[in-house]
């Protein structure tokens, strides 16, 4: 059961070209977002599509794969874990971010 703790699996479309950062340590970081869609019918029988956006962060070899093969619009499957962090913006306001730390990526579609 320990493998089920803090595990996220998402399938969606990449919302922007990944931002690639090469750190001084030699590590590579990729940051991007994906959109997941859920459709349902409301009480009037109209089809409603709900889109959720997810921030994705990947390191190392996974980041290299993303840099080379994952453009905006690509459908991908992501597996990883949820993390939350906070930071202060330029105005000194504390901001909170929830991200998926990607451990595996599956390239889907064409």
Residue 64, pLDDT > 80, answer yes
Average pLDDT score over residue span 40-69: 94
Per-residue model confidence (pLDDT) at position 110: 67
Residue 86, pLDDT > 80, answer yes
Average pLDDT score over residue span 49-55: 95
Per-residue model confidence (pLDDT) at position 4: 72
Report the chain's mean pLDDT, rounded to a whole number: 93
Q: Is 34 helix (H, G, I), strand (E, B) or coil?
A: strand
* E strand segments, the chain: 8-14, 19-22, 28-41, 47-59, 75-88, 94-107
């Amino acid at each position: 059961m320990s493998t089920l703790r803090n595990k996220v699996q998402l399938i969606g479309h990449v919302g922007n070209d990944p931002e690639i950062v090469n750190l001084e340590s030699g590590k590579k970081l990729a940051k991007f977002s994906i959109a997941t869609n859920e459709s349902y019918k409301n009480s009037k029988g109209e089809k409603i599509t709900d889109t959720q956006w997810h921030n994705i962060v990947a390191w190392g070899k996974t980041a290299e794969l993303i840099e080379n093969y994952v453009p905006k619009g690509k459908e991908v499957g992501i597996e990883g874990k949820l993390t939350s962090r906070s930071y202060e913006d330029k105005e000194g306001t504390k901001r909170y971010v929830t991200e998926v730390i990607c451990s595996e990526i599956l390239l889907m579609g064409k």
